[in-house]
Structure formats: C-alpha cells, structure tokens
Amino acid sequence: DPLARATAELATGLFSVSQARRKPKIPKGTRDFAPEQMAIREKAFATIHGVFKRHGAVAIDTPVFELKETLTGKYGEESKLIYDLADQGGEICSLRYDLTVPFARYVAMNGVGSIKRYHIARVYRRDNPAMNRGRFREFYQCDLDIAGSYGLMIPDSEILKILTEVLDALDVGRYAVKINHRRLLDAILEIAGVPAAKFRPICSAIDKLDKEPWEAVRAEMVEEKGLAPAVADAIGTFVCLKGEPRALLARLQHEGRFAAHAGGRAALDEMATLFSYLDAFRCLDKFSFDLSLARGLDYYTGVIYEAVFTETDQVGSIAAGGRYDDLVGMFNPSAKQIPAVGVSIGIERIFTIMEQKAKAAGQVRENETEVYVAQIGAGLLEERMRIAAELWAAGVKAEFMYAAEPKLQKQLAAALEGGVPLVVIVGEDELKQGLVKLKDLNARTEEPVPRAEVAQAALKALGRAPK
C-alpha cells in the first residue's frame, strides 16, 4: 500500500525533525555541574578526603548498581524509592540507595573482620525532588564507617569527632549534632506503655518533631496510630527533653522511671561513656542530647545522631548516622555479626552554601592556568606551541589561543578574563635577539627573558621551585 507507506514515512520524518529540534533535557531531579560549581565541589571533596585520611581511613568503591536482592528488606517504607534497572535479560539490579548497605554487603562478601573505610559517591532515590531545597534524585554522600568488634563507644566517639572536624573544616556556619540512643527510645516507649507492635510507627511519628510541633505529633499518635491519650502524654514528657549532654544525662539518671528499667539504665551508661570520650576529643560542646531524635531507618541498634544548621533557616539534616550491629550479619552466609557504626554527610546543601559564599566573594576560577602564551605579529603559532610544550614539561599550567594569527589585544583579554597571572609574549624582533617578554598581569610589570629559559623564568615568577 504505497499511500500507507508514504504516510508512515512522512510521520517518521516529522517525528525525527521534532526530535532534532526539541530542546535537550536531563532527567527530573538530576543536574549538571558547570565548571565553577565543579571547582567548589572539588575543593569540598578535597577537604573531606583530608579529614578522613587524617583519621587513617581507607577507601573502597562498589558498583553503582547492586543485585536487587541486596537492597530488599533494608529500608522499610523507603524501599519504594529504589530505582530498578530494566529487565533486559540476566540479573535484576537496582541503583544503590545509600552507601551503607553496599558497605555491609562488601564486608560480608569479602570476609572482612574490621575496617575503617570511607566512600564518597552518588546514591539514587526516586523521591519527589525539591531542587531549590537541595533534594535531588541523584546526590552525593560522604560516608565513613568503622566495622569490627571494639571497645564500647570508642569507634562511635571517633566517628562523631570526625563529623565535627569535617563540618568545621568546610566552614559552613554554626551547627549542632543531636544525639540519642535507640535503646533509650525503646525504654521510653516501654515506660510510657506503648505496645511493642506500635514501636516503629510511633518512632516515625517522633521523628517528625524537628519539623512539626508536639501537638501535631501527639495528634498523629492518638488519631492515626490509635495510642491512648495518656500514653502519648507520657511520651511527650520525655521527647521534649533536650540540652547539654551531661546535664540532661544527670537528670535522666536521677529520674526514677529509668533507674527501674534495665534497658534504659544500660543505654544511659553507654551515653555517659560516649560523653566522656567526646570530652577527651574536645568536641562535646558541639552536641545536644535530644530525646526526640528517632531516625527513620530500620537498621540502627545503638547511638544515633543527626547534624543540623543552627544559624540559617534551612530545614533538614546535613549529616546523620548511628550504630548498626546487625546489618552485616544479614549478608553473612554464616550469619556472623560484624558490629558497625558510621556517618553519612549529605553534601548537597553544603555545596549550595559554599556556592552562595563564593558568589558573594567574587569570581571563582574555573581552572588554574598560570601562563598564557601569546604572540605579537604573524607566523608564530608553532613557536607558541613549542613554548607551551616547554612549560608543560616543566609542570607549569599553560594555555594559548587556538588561532593561527590572533590579535595581541584578544589574547591579553583572554588571559585577564581567565585570571591567568602571567603572559609570555613572543614577537619576531625579540626572537631574533633570543628573547621573549614575560608580563605579570597582577604586578603590571614586563621583562625580557631569554627564549631558552622561558620555563625557568615562569617558575621563578610564580614563586615555584624548578622541577
């Protein structure tokens, strides 16, 4: 049928034209990083790297996707946000949702007995994105975890020390680290009279206290989750408590209801030990003991924490973590447990703050070029290339204009715009005398240097030792 074929061809043609002409897009909830953003991001990563290495951590890396079964049953209600790969034959895989579960899988699979590792990588969540508030579907996490059987609260306290060092080094403003203990929360719920089956839903209600007032959370407990009003009020007397760690600890230790509860007493003893260690590390002043901190994830078993900004009106945590002693065992064929504790720093909000600061402070250099190799007159492209090659060989960062006969004015403008401090100017007359000009754009000086020593002269002008 020639008519049908012609129609089909026309439709295909129109389709491919509309394809070609459509403005290109990236997936919802993701973003590109432009050069000036990358310059800031690389600086932040270098800072975090530096702190992690100062504490003797080692790096590992895992694939961006895992077998789907690896992620199944680890995230509770949040599992619905996992990105699956299409079934194209072979294994069923999902993009990693965090770095903790792949870490536990790594430890179990490789029979690792103990490790202090960091991992800086992207994770994926099919969440409702809120780009301007720093919530993306693809975002970086900077994780440090310590796995192994160690003295009570010792690795926990170093993790928290590391967290404060990272936030201090990034210099992003005032923050506080809220801290609590999962078993203390369990004790509160038990003492208040919450039935065991309701622990999880009530915990997730408590977790909303950083965004909602107690009245709203109480209403959720009573109306939605069917808690007796007196039980909710009993919870309320505890979870509104927060403050300086040792002061609140002393108050709770003298509180009769905890003294009579073995689990609660044990959790308070662990907190006392932790606070001593944080004091020895000289960072206890950054912490707030906060009985309302609950953390959504299923796998925590001990101390839990969350860092928040205190001087901006930005909502949400910048880092969080806790102890999870049972997660590695879920992957171990022998069910052998490897206790672990870790922290995950969500760097996206920190990038946003650093970007705002950099913009306020003026130009961010996108590259680090030190010398621009320019020519005056004609026929000197290959001479510029030879000089650039000599500079590169000496370890000097150098560029030149990609044109056969560029105007000097244009070359100087390019150097100034890029913030390049030095310009080498090649001209036919000077070359005949074996010279080139070395121009310092900051000092506004210019001096002739021997053509044969151009790299050494540049290094000297940059205040760097010759290679």
Residues 117-156 that bind its own copies (CB under 8 A): 117, 122, 124, 126, 138, 146, 148, 150-151, 154-155
Nearest of 293, 298, 296 to residue 271 by alpha carbon: 293
Q: What is the dihedral of CA 246, 249, 250, 254, to 10 degrees?
A: 180
Q: Does 224 bind its own copies (CB under 8 A)?
A: no
Q: Does 281 bind its own copies (CB under 8 A)?
A: yes
Q: Does 280 bind its own copies (CB under 8 A)?
A: yes
356 exposure class (CB count in 10 Å sphere: 0-12, 13-18, 19+):
exposed
Q: Which of 2, 3, 88, 197 binds its own copies (CB under 8 A)?
A: 88
Question: Which of the stretches 58-66, 197-205, 355-363, 424-432 binds its own copies when contact is defined by CB under 8 A?
Answer: 58-66
Q: Which of 25, 254, 432, 444 binds its own copies (CB under 8 A)?
A: 25
Residue 44 to residue 38: CA distance in whole angstroms: 10
Q: Which of 43, 45, 55, 127 binds its own copies (CB under 8 A)?
A: 55
Are 119 and 85 in contact by the 8 Å Cβ rule? The answer is: no
Q: Does 442 bind its own copies (CB under 8 A)?
A: no
Question: Which of the stretches 110-118, 254-262, 352-360, 443-451 binds its own copies when contact is defined by CB under 8 A?
Answer: 110-118
Terminal CA-CA length for the chain: 75
Q: Does 452 bind its own copies (CB under 8 A)?
A: no
Q: 408: helix, coil or strand?
A: helix
Question: Which of the stretches 81-89, 223-231, 291-299, 312-320 binds its own copies when contact is defined by CB under 8 A?
Answer: 81-89
Q: Does 69 bind its own copies (CB under 8 A)?
A: yes
Q: Which of 78, 399, 440, 453 binds its own copies (CB under 8 A)?
A: 399
For 40-69, b/e burial (b = at least 16 CB within 10 A) is: bbeebeebbeebbeeeebeebebeebbeee
Q: Which of 91, 223, 285, 446 binds its own copies (CB under 8 A)?
A: 91
- Ranges within 343-382 binding its own copies (CB under 8 A): 366-369, 381-382
Residue 174 to residue 158: CA distance in whole angstroms: 21
By rule CB under 8 A, what count of residues binds its own copies?
Answer: 100
Q: 169: helix, coil or strand?
A: helix
Q: Does 392 bind its own copies (CB under 8 A)?
A: yes
Smallest separation, CB 291 to its own copies (Å)? 26
What's the distance, CA 285 to chain centroid? 24
Q: What is the dihedral of CA 405, 409, 415, 417, to 10 degrees?
A: -130
Would you give the binding string for its own copies spanning residues 173-212, x where CB under 8 A is met? ----------------------------------------
Q: Does 24 bind its own copies (CB under 8 A)?
A: yes
Phi then psi dihedrals of residue 446, to 5 deg:
-150, 135
Question: Which of the stretches 108-116, 204-212, 239-247, 291-299 binds its own copies when contact is defined by CB under 8 A?
Answer: 108-116
Q: Which of 48, 71, 99, 115 binds its own copies (CB under 8 A)?
A: 115
Reading the block at residue 453, the tokens are 């020593």
Q: Which of 22, 254, 432, 444 binds its own copies (CB under 8 A)?
A: 22
Residue 173 to residue 237: CA distance in whole angstroms: 32
CB contact set of 222 (below 8 Å; sequence gap of 6+):
228, 229, 232
Q: Which of 398, 425, 435, 454 binds its own copies (CB under 8 A)?
A: 398
Q: What is the dihedral of CA 327, 329, 330, 333, to 10 degrees?
A: 160
Q: Does 385 bind its own copies (CB under 8 A)?
A: yes
Question: Which of the stretches 183-191, 272-280, 352-360, 441-449 binds its own copies when contact is defined by CB under 8 A?
Answer: 272-280
